[in-house]
Each structure stands twice: as C-alpha cells, then as structure tokens.
Amino acid sequence: MENFSNKSFFNKEHAPQGLFEKILARIYDERLLRAKRWLVLIVSGLIVGFGVVVAVFQSMEASFVDSGFAELISLMFSDFYIIAADWRNFGIAVLESLPTFDVIAFLGVTLSIMYLLTFFARNMDRIITYRHSIIL
C-alpha cells in the first residue's frame, strides 16, 4: 500500500506556469462583468421609473384638481373658525376627497426608485473599488 500523507492533491510540477494568476484574473473579470450587468439593469430601471413617476405625478395632480381636495385644504386656511366648529365632518370630507389610488401609485413608484437607487449605489461602489492588480 502506498503512503499518501506526503503527496498533495495538486501536483505543482504538472501545472502550467501562471495558471493560478489566470484563474484569479478570470474570476475578477466575471465579477466585474456581473456588476456591470447589474448596473445596466438598474440604470435602465431608473430611467423607466423616472418616466413612470412623471406620468403618475401628472395623473395624481389631475385627480387632486378633479376631487376638490385643494379647495377643501384652502378652505382650512381661509375659514379656520368655521372648520374648527365642525372639524370631524371636515376631516371626513377631506379624507373622502383624497385620491387614494393615485397617492398609493405615486408612493409605490417613488419607493421602487429609491430601492433601485440603493442597488445603484452598491454596484457603483463595487465597480469603482475593483482593482486590476491581483494580490497573491
């Protein structure tokens, strides 16, 4: 029976010169390529998201005008004593005139853009901090 205690799994005599450095360089290139792909995906998502947020904001603005929400809020500043006497009914009227779907859509799009911005910051940091030199 042969003694395997002094033999290593990789035989360094048969490995080509510079193989380890080539493997590490390929791993580095793959990580950089993956970070760049994520960056392209996130930037395209941000461009679409900013376009959608403009459309949703315009829709929300039109819904506020149509529902009379702005008039009720301006009434609060012009006739405060009348509203203070019957503030419960005024509060219910304001909540009923609030265009909830448009507000929720605007908040959802805004939060998704903020979420994409965090991914953008993380991947941008990865691309900037990568070095082309491999430390062994």
So what's the pLDDT on residue 63?
92
Q: Are 73 and 94 in contact (CB under 8 A)?
A: yes
- Its sign, for the CA torsion 108, 112, 113, 114, is positive
So what's the pLDDT on residue 60?
92
Q: Where are the domains of the chain?
A: 19-129
Pick the more confident residue, 55 or 18. 55
Residue 109 CB: number of other CB atoms within 10 A?
19
Residue 3 CB: number of other CB atoms within 10 A?
6
Q: Tell me the pTM.
A: 0.65
Q: Which two tokens stand for residue 88?
A: 């419960």
pLDDT in tens, 31-64: 888 878 888 888 899 999 999 999 999 999 999 8
In our burial notation (b when 16+ CB lie closer than 10 A, e otherwise), range 76-93 reads eeeeeeebeeeeeebeeb
As a 3-state breakdown, the chain gives helix, strand, coil percent values, each rounded to 5, of 80, 0, 20
C-alpha 69/C-alpha 63 separation (Å) is 9
